[in-house]
Amino acid sequence: ALSGHDVTVLLPAIYLMGNPVQNVGRCLGTAEVNAKYYPHIIAVCAINALLSIWVMQLIV
């Protein structure tokens, strides 16, 4: 089970990892971004999510 502290730390990362799904589906496809860049864009979002966990551990 997750405690309140765990949820507080994970919540920003969950939001940040939901972003690539929306970007790939709506923005990048519509803008005709080359598909070879999708992994790079998703990797940046994953790194941001990991950094948000680290920052939240420091704050909370």
6-38, pLDDT tens digit by residue? Answer: 999 999 999 988 878 777 778 888 888 888 988
Residue 30: the pLDDT is 85
Query: 33 or 50: whose pLDDT is higher?
Result: 50
Name, in order, each residue with C-beta under 8 angstroms of 2's C-beta and a sequence gap of 6 or more. Answer: 10
CA distance 20 to 13: 12
Give me 10's structure tokens.
């994970």
Residue 6: the pLDDT is 95
Residue 48: the pLDDT is 94
In this structure, which amino acid lies at residue 19? N
CA distance 33 to 3: 40
Name, in order, each residue with C-beta under 8 angstroms of 19's C-beta and a sequence gap of 6 or more. Answer: 45
